[in-house]
């Protein structure tokens, strides 16, 4: 393993100068620092994480807390894309990623204690129960925290513009002649609340009265519950002409139920999803959906947690809204009303 002494010998500078240059000290001139870093790179030098922690009080390690209700883990297409973007940007900024849980082997520990155990400089929270006391403990601790798609107290929140997304979907469906629009939404979260608000507000602006039985609750990323909700909607005496789903993956359950009823999309009923995952665009017909900008969400989360870590005394928490894109697909039939 290459050491600072090896770099000192190769570069001709003292070990003290080499150490300061590699740690970005302002005491060393830029030309000297650049030369020493170049020599270190050529020699294949990597700083010792434990030594760096002792010297700088930073591990360059960011914790990620992600626990969705369906326990899909990284098989969750939307969140896996967001977290991959967090990882890529964090690595670009010189940070590693550690997933946080309650268990290390057979040992149980709180999320906060796991972060301390792994020496996390900060934490990105992508999907959890924000009423969980252990989550509250972590967010209210001294460890910098950034949340994704949830506003919690004074934390920085990186948010997909769900109100705008649902608004764009409803307007597109309306413009294609539909007046009987049903909405199967996910479980009660801040994301669901914003989407429902956007749905009702837009329908009101369009002059639409939505019957209560056109609104069904299912669960995100759960085709089974969306399938059951679809069956209930199709069995109504006056069924909708278009059904909106909580997400693209959940729509699969609705699609199966529609086919089971002998109906065809979009000839007999129109449908729309949400998220814009790859699957939505390889289905036939292509699904009308709203594509969330997962790359921007993850990148902003990584950049802001690093700023919260490195500029701890001056960093001001903020809310950053990320816009997405309507994908019209082929699953909405234009009808005369």
pLDDT bucket at 69, cuts 50 / 70 / 90: low
Which residue range is the domain that position 156 belongs to?
Answer: 61-160+295-323
Q: Is the pLDDT of residue 261 over 90?
A: yes
Statement to judge: residues 252 and 274 lie in one domain: yes
Give the pLDDT confidence score for residue 52 in this predicted structure: 54
Average pLDDT in the chain: 89
Mean local confidence (pLDDT), 8-27: 84
Please tell me the least confidently modeled range out of 47-56, 121-130, 300-309. 47-56
Who's near 43: CB < 8 A, 6+ residues apart?
2, 6, 7, 10
Please tell me the least confidently modeled range out of 3-12, 46-55, 123-132. 46-55
Q: Note whether residue 128 is domain-resident.
A: yes
The strands making up 96-99's β-sheet, listed across from edge to edge, are 96-99, 61-66, 122-127, 145-148, 156-160, 319-322
Statement to judge: residues 223 and 256 lie in one domain: yes
Of the candidates 144, 112, 114, 78, which has an alpha carbon nearest to the alpha carbon of residue 302?
144
Statement to judge: residues 134 and 23 lie in one domain: no
Statement to judge: residues 103 and 137 lie in one domain: yes
Q: Note whether residue 55 is domain-resident.
A: no
Statement to judge: residues 285 and 167 lie in one domain: yes
pLDDT bucket at 71, cuts 50 / 70 / 90: low
Statement to judge: residues 149 and 260 lie in one domain: no
In whole angstroms, give the CA distance from residue 321 to residue 239. Answer: 35
Give the pLDDT confidence score for residue 203 in this predicted structure: 97
Mean local confidence (pLDDT), 136-146: 93
Q: Which tens digit of pLDDT belongs to each residue from 88-115? A: 999 988 899 998 887 766 678 899 998 9
Please tell me the least confidently modeled range out of 17-26, 170-179, 215-224. 17-26
Give the pLDDT confidence score for residue 51 in this predicted structure: 53
Provide the domain count of the chain. Answer: 3
Give the pLDDT confidence score for residue 54 in this predicted structure: 46
Give the pLDDT confidence score for residue 271 in this predicted structure: 98
Statement to judge: residues 243 and 125 lie in one domain: no
Q: Note whether residue 247 is domain-resident.
A: yes
Q: Note whether residue 208 is domain-resident.
A: yes
Give the pLDDT confidence score for residue 55 in this predicted structure: 53
Q: Which tens digit of pLDDT belongs to each residue from 278-320? A: 889 899 999 999 999 999 999 999 999 999 998 888 999 999 9
Statement to judge: residues 70 and 96 lie in one domain: yes
Annotate the chain with three-state secondary structure.
CCCHHHHHHHHCCCHHHHHHHHCCCCCCCHHHHHHHHHHHHHCCCCCCHHHHHHHHCCCCEEEEEECCCCCCHHHCHHHHHHHHHHHHHHHHCCCEEEECCCEECCEECCHHHHHHHCCCCEEEEEECCCCCHHHHHHHCCCCCEEEECCCCCCCEEEEECHHHHHHHHHHHHHHCCCCCEEEEECCCCHHHHHHHHHHHHHHHHCCCCCCHHHEEECCCCCHHHHHHHHHHHHCCCCCCCEEECCCHHHHHHHHHHHHHCCCCCCCCCEEECCECCHHHHHCCCCCEEEECCHHHHHHHHHHHHHHHHHCCCCCCCCEEEECCEEECCCCCCCCCC
Statement to judge: residues 152 and 67 lie in one domain: yes
Q: Is the pLDDT of residue 49 over 70?
A: no
Structure tokens at 294: 């997962």
pLDDT bucket at 18, cuts 50 / 70 / 90: confident
Please tell me the least confidently modeled range out of 22-31, 52-61, 220-229. 52-61
Statement to judge: residues 259 and 175 lie in one domain: yes
Q: Which tens digit of pLDDT belongs to each residue from 151-163? A: 888 899 999 999 9
Q: Note whether residue 336 is domain-resident.
A: no
Q: Note whether residue 335 is domain-resident.
A: no
Statement to judge: residues 171 and 151 lie in one domain: no
Statement to judge: residues 147 and 172 lie in one domain: no
Q: Is the pLDDT of residue 20 over 90?
A: no
Who's near 299: CB < 8 A, 6+ residues apart?
85, 86, 88, 89
Q: Note whether residue 56 is domain-resident.
A: no
Give the pLDDT confidence score for residue 58 in this predicted structure: 63
Domain of 129: which CATH number?
3.40.50.2300
């Amino acid at each position: 393993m290459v050491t600072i002494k090896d770099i000192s010998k190769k570069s001709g500078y003292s070990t003290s100068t080499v150490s300061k240059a590699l740690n970005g000290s302002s005491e060393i001139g830029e030309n000297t620092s650049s030369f020493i870093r170049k020599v270190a790179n050529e020699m294949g030098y990597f700083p010792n994480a434990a030594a760096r922690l002792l010297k700088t009080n930073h591990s360059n390690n960011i914790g990620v807390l992600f626990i969705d209700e369906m326990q899909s883990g990284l098989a969750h297409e939307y969140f896996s894309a967001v977290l991959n973007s967090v990882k890529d940007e964090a690595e670009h900024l010189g940070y590693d990623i550690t997933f946080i849980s309650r268990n290390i082997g057979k040992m149980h520990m709180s999320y906060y204690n796991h972060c301390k155990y792994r020496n996390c400089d900060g934490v990105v929270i992508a999907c959890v129960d924000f009423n969980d006391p252990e989550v509250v403990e972590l967010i209210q601790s001294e460890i910098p925290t950034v949340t994704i798609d949830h506003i919690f107290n004074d934390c920085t929140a990186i948010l997909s513009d769900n109100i705008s997304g649902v608004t764009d979907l409803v307007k597109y469906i309306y413009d294609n002649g539909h007046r009987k629009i049903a909405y199967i939404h996910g479980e009660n979260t801040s994301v669901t609340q914003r989407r429902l608000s956007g749905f009702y507000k837009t329908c009101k602006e369009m002059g639409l009265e939505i019957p209560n039985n056109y609104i069904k609750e299912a669960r995100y990323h759960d085709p089974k519950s969306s399938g059951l909700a679809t069956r209930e909607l199709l069995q109504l005496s006056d069924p909708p002409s278009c059904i909106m789903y909580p997400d693209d993956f959940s729509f699969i359950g609705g699609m199966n139920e529609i086919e089971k009823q002998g109906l065809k999309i979009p000839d007999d009923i129109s449908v729309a999803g949400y998220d814009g995952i790859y699957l939505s665009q390889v289905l036939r017909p292509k699904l009308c959906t709203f594509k969330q900008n997962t790359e921007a969400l993850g990148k902003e989360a990584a950049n802001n947690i690093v700023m919260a870590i490195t500029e701890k005394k001056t960093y001001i928490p903020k809310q950053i809204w990320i816009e997405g894109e309507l994908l019209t697909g082929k699953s909405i039939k234009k009808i005369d009303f």
